[in-house]
Amino acid sequence: MIKPRVAADIAQSLVDDARQSGCLPRWPYANQQTNVMVGDPSDQIIASTYALGAREFDSAAALQAMVKGASERCHTVNGDYTEREALDDYLRVGYVPFERTVDDMIHSQLKRDEPWGTASTTLEYALADFSISRLAAALGQPATANAFAARSGNWRTLVNPATGEMQPRQGTGLFAPDFTTASKEGWVEGNSAQYNWFAPHDPAGLFDSMGGREQATARLDQFFTELNAGQGSPFAYFGNEPTMFTPWLYDWLGLPSRAQKVVRDVLVDHYAPTPTGLPGNDDGGATSAWYVLSALGLYPTVPGTDLLAVGSPLFPETRVRLAGGTLTLDAPLADRARPYVTDMTVDGHPHDAPWLRFADLIDGGRIEWGLGDAPTGWGTNPADAPPSYSP
């Protein structure tokens, strides 16, 4: 958003890594493939970079590398790593079978093609497929876009219709036994309760899989009973990435005031200007970036798009220097105890939807918020909900 040339250069570096090593990297370090953690995150990084307007990189070559890594067993030139572990099973049944999981990142690296956390890996692949679809659509390749949009629905393969929960699943089609929502088996740094929400590109479909909006709302309310409960708890864990976008799902449910309250409680109660002032591992700046974006009141929730969920600013005035001009964020009544949006204007025009497109802000402008200390009806019209991208 603020340094598009740097962002585009990073995207080009990922493309160059793919040319040099044979496939897109996962967690590259000093021009080396490390392949730690899970999923295929270069796809999300590249597609999001393009969607947010940073386009001075070889996007055609990027898309080619993304499609290759998602379609075939793409190994690095020395044969050490593959871009997507267990890709053969994912392509065959739409998920990574539970029996292929390993206990931790180190064993995954030793076994090369066996992922750490098969359920987490499945959800990451589905989101990566969505990102490929969005970039393909933007570059005028509808066949590729449609094919990967269909694959982006693979998160549904983990939903057990008997429980309405996402669960690790065996290659036979049976769901893994001895399931509890707090179990970490098959998940990476989290559990089913925390990953149940991991379909940021299709909230409407996700709510349907849970039995509807009312049931999803009740589950989300229960989930936020605790805000930093840890990996083994069936509640939110803002010290780690899987929970970071989850409160914004209230915007899709027509309840943006609940998102505003949860986010403000985390900002105020779980961050502090002290040596231990972060709620968890900063992980390349992710935890700090969450604070900055949430405090601005504009949060990018859907990788591969420029969709920004609207929250409430923590500060009375903020100026964000964008490539095309300055974006001024005004909230004269901002206060730690006033998290609720009462009204909003964009460049002087009333705005009632709890989301914006970054493309409409890229040249700068002014957003003004009215804020209060009690929930309001702003943003609650179902017709104003952000879009979902169901296949």
Express each pLDDT in 307-364 by its tens digit.
Answer: 999 999 999 999 999 989 999 999 999 999 999 999 999 999 999 999 999 999 999 9
What is the rounded average pLDDT of the residues 355-381? Answer: 98
pLDDT at residue 177, rounded to an integer: 87
**Cα separation of 103 and 112, whole Å?**
13
Tell me the torsion sign for CA atoms 88, 93, 94, 100.
Answer: negative
Q: Are 150 and 203 in contact (CB under 8 A)?
A: no
Q: Is the pTM higher than 0.85?
A: yes
**Cα separation of 184 and 237, whole Å?**
13
pLDDT at residue 369, rounded to an integer: 98
Q: What is the mean pLDDT of the chain?
A: 94
Q: Which amino acid, residue 226? A: E
Angle at 323 between CA 319 and CA 327, to 5 degrees: 25
Express each pLDDT in 159-211 by its tens digit.
Answer: 999 989 999 999 999 998 888 999 999 999 999 999 999 999 999 999 999 99
Find, among 158, 226, 225, the residue nearest to 192 by Cα.
Answer: 158
> Which tokens is 221 given?
């309310």
Residue with tokens 């070889």: 58
More confident residue, 232 or 332: 332
Find, among 76, 115, 73, the residue nearest to 97 by Cα.
Answer: 115
**Cα separation of 117 and 103, whole Å?**
7
Q: Are 163 and 86 in contact (CB under 8 A)?
A: no
**Superfamily assignment of 1-158 in CATH?**
alpha-1,2-mannosidase (1.20.1050.60)
pLDDT at residue 206, rounded to an integer: 97
On the question of pLDDT at 120 being above 70, the answer is yes
Residue 84 makes CB contacts below 8 A (sequence gap 6+) with 40, 69, 70, 74, 90, 125
CB atoms inside a 10 Å sphere around CB 8: 20
Residue 78's pLDDT band, with cuts at 50, 70 and 90, is low
On the question of pLDDT at 284 being above 90, the answer is no
On the question of pLDDT at 65 being above 90, the answer is yes
* Per-residue DSSP letter, 344: E
Residue 73's pLDDT band, with cuts at 50, 70 and 90, is confident
